[in-house]
């Protein structure tokens, strides 16, 4: 990812960009959107504020770069071909990212600012798509004849609601039960 952007760019500029985006992403993920200021990112990355402003004139530019990095690094295991097992594994990963990887903070930051700026809405959609691409692919490959978006909304939403709003862990047992329910609703409950 990012190959096109880096073609012909001074390696020092690339390093600066990488350091600053790393610092902004770390700040966003651990402390939340409102903490990501040019001053704080510059301080943490070890560059001047002027340098940060030169590359990313607005806070939204910093957020776009951070979310790009989060999307590029989204880790998707290879599907095994077992529909139920692949869905359970993907959703357990998602639940762990919510609980321990601070994904709740990232999604919350985007949700809080949604509707206020089309760029934010675009970032939110991009993050959702990057995060769910693998699950969507698994569903589509096994259920080519159906619209998988409702199933995806139920699965992703069920895990999100459990972990983020019911305040209870989305354990593997809970996730497997959700998957069985959703597969049953698509007529695939007996498989796997």
Nearer to a second copy, 78 or 165 (CB): 165
Nearer to a second copy, 6 or 166 (CB): 166
Where along the sequence are the contacts to a second copy (CB under 8 A)?
31-34, 102, 104-105, 107-116, 121, 124-125, 128, 149-154, 156-162, 164-168, 174, 177-178, 180-182, 184-186
From CA 106, how far away is CA 89, in angstroms rounded?
A: 21
Question: Please, what is the minimum distance in Å from the beta carbon of residue 14 to a second copy?
Answer: 30
Question: Please, what is the minimum distance in Å from the beta carbon of residue 114 to a second copy?
Answer: 5
Nearer to a second copy, 45 or 98 (CB): 98
Question: Please, what is the minimum distance in Å from the beta carbon of residue 109 to a second copy?
Answer: 5
Number of H helices, E strands in the chain: 10, 0
Question: Please, what is the minimum distance in Å from the beta carbon of residue 18 to a second copy?
Answer: 25
Question: Please, what is the minimum distance in Å from the beta carbon of residue 31 to a second copy?
Answer: 8
* Token pair belonging to 88: 């359970």
* Token pair belonging to 181: 């329910």
Helix 118-142 and helix 103-112, axial crossing angle in degrees, nearest 10? 130
Nearer to a second copy, 16 or 123 (CB): 123
Burial label for 189, CB within 10 Å (0-12, 13-18, 19+), is middle
From CA 146, how far away is CA 19, in angstroms rounded?
A: 44
**Ordered DSSP codes for 132-150:** HHHHHHHHHHH-TTS--HH
């Amino acid at each position: 990812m990012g190959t096109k952007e880096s073609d012909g760019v001074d390696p020092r500029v690339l390093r600066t960009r990488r350091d600053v985006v790393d610092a902004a992403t770390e700040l966003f993920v651990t402390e939340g959107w409102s903490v990501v200021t040019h001053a704080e990112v510059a301080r943490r990355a070890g560059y001047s504020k002027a340098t940060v402003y030169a590359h990313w004139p607005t806070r939204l530019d910093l957020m776009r770069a951070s979310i790009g990095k989060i999307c590029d690094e989204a880790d998707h295991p290879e599907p095994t071909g077992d529909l139920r097992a692949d869905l359970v594994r993907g959703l357990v990963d998602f639940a762990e990212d919510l609980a321990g990887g601070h994904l709740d903070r990232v999604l919350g930051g985007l949700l809080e600012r949604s509707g206020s700026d089309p760029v934010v809405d675009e970032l939110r959609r991009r993050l959702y798509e990057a995060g769910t691409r693998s699950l969507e692919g698994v569903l589509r490959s096994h259920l080519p004849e159906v619209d998988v978006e409702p199933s995806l909304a139920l699965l992703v939403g069920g895990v999100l609601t459990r972990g983020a709003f019911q305040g209870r862990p989305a354990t593997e047992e809970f996730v497997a039960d959700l998957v069985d329910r959703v597969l049953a609703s698509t007529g695939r409950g007996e498989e796997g």
